[in-house]
Each structure stands twice: as C-alpha cells, then as structure tokens.
Amino acid sequence: MDRISLENLVTTLCQHNPGLSNQISTLTPAITVSSALECLRSKLETVFLGLPYKGDQQGDYAYLRVKPAIEDFLAAFADYLEHFLPPNESQLSNSLAFLDSATTLLWRLPVWNNAINNHSKKVMFEQLAQAWVVTFQEVAAASTTGLGLGYEMWMQKLRMHHEITMELGVAIEFLNSIFAN
C-alpha cells in the first residue's frame, strides 16, 4: 500500500471510529527539530532532482517541472514553522534552532527568472521573518536579560541569512529594538 492509500485508510478509520484519533495521536512519535529538518531536506532534494539536466535551470520549463515539489516543500515548511513557534513549542531553544536551519533550507530553493514563480517563496520568507520576531519576543519576555550573551550570535546569524535573501529585515529591526532600549 502506498503512502497516500495508507493516509486515506487511516483518515477513513478515524472518521468511522472517533476514538482512534486520540490513540493514533498518542502513538505517533513526537516531531523533533532534527526529524522536521530531515523531512524538509528530503523535500528540497526532490525539487533539485526534478530540475532538467540541460537548458535553462531558472526558466519557466524548469519551474513547471518542479512546481509540485516546491508546493509540497512549502506546505511542509509552513506546517513545521507553526509547530515550532511559541506557544506550540515550549522550548525556545528548539524554536531558534529550527528557524536557523529552516531559513537556510528556504533560501536554497531556486530563484526563477520569472518573478511570478518566486512569489510563493517570497510569501514564505515574510512568514518566516514574522516567526523570528515572535520567537524573539518570547525569548525576551522569558528572560530578564533578553537574549543576553546570545544576542550577538543571533544577530550574526540573522544578518548572514538576510545578506543572502534580503528578506529578514523585519526580524533584524526587531532584534535591534530590543537592545536599543
């Protein structure tokens, strides 16, 4: 049985037996930062494997070949992003670790010649920037010293990501504002 058939079977069983949903939830292993990142890496690899071997790697033909894989990656990215944000994730170190590595994965997505093809990636970067802000807000609220000694490290990481993507200015401004006061 393939994955989709198995998912459909489990969904149908849960609809007919509502008590199964709770049992399945308790038996399902918890999502960890490493398992989430491994899943995202695998989905990103699928994008690269779908690119044509020859020709324009950034053109419309290449994009159309990998569009379903990109959509799958971005959907999983959004799900994991929500999962690792406070208050869903109580360990802020997990939130920060996920955000750092996930940001690297997102900026590795291809950049296309046609700006329209880059739209979904740009939207995801906007959500990611807000996720950084939300996490920094929680870190600052949880500590009397804000990020303390970690401030410089996180500012360096954010600046590195921003230099590559030019998409995380909101998060950098917020982190600066925490320590400007």
Which sequence spans correspond to the domains of the chain? 1-30, 32-180
pLDDT, average across residues 38-51? 96
How much is the pLDDT for 61?
94
The pLDDT of residue 180 is above 80: no
The pLDDT of residue 109 is above 70: yes
How much is the pLDDT for 149?
45
User: What CATH code is assigned to 32-180?
Assistant: 1.20.58.1590
Task: Answer with the residue of higher pLDDT: 111 or 152.
Answer: 111
Per-residue model confidence as pLDDT tens digits over 123-159: 999 999 999 999 988 887 877 655 554 667 888 888 8
**Cβ atoms within 10 Å, residue 77:** 23
How much is the pLDDT for 4?
82
DSSP designation for 91: -
* Confidence grade of residue 90 (pLDDT, cut at 50, 70, 90): confident
How much is the pLDDT for 116?
96
Residues in contact with 67: Cβ distance below 8 Å, sequence separation at least 6, in sequence order: none
Query: Alpha-carbon distance 103 to 99, whole Å?
Result: 6
- The structure's pTM equals 0.83
Query: Alpha-carbon distance 144 to 167, whole Å?
Result: 29
> What is the three-class DSSP state of 156?
helix
Per-residue model confidence as pLDDT tens digits over 47-79: 999 999 888 899 999 999 999 999 999 999 999
Query: Alpha-carbon distance 47 to 70, whole Å?
Result: 6
For 14-66, the DSSP string reads HHH-THHHHHHHHHSPPP-HHHHHHHHHHHHHHHHHHS-SSS-TTSHHHHHHH
How much is the pLDDT for 6?
84
- For 53, phi and psi rounded to 5 degrees? -70, -35
How much is the pLDDT for 74?
97
Nearest to 73 by CA among 45, 33, 104, 113: 45
What whole-number percentage of the chain has pLDDT above 70?
A: 93
Mean confidence (pLDDT) of the chain: 88
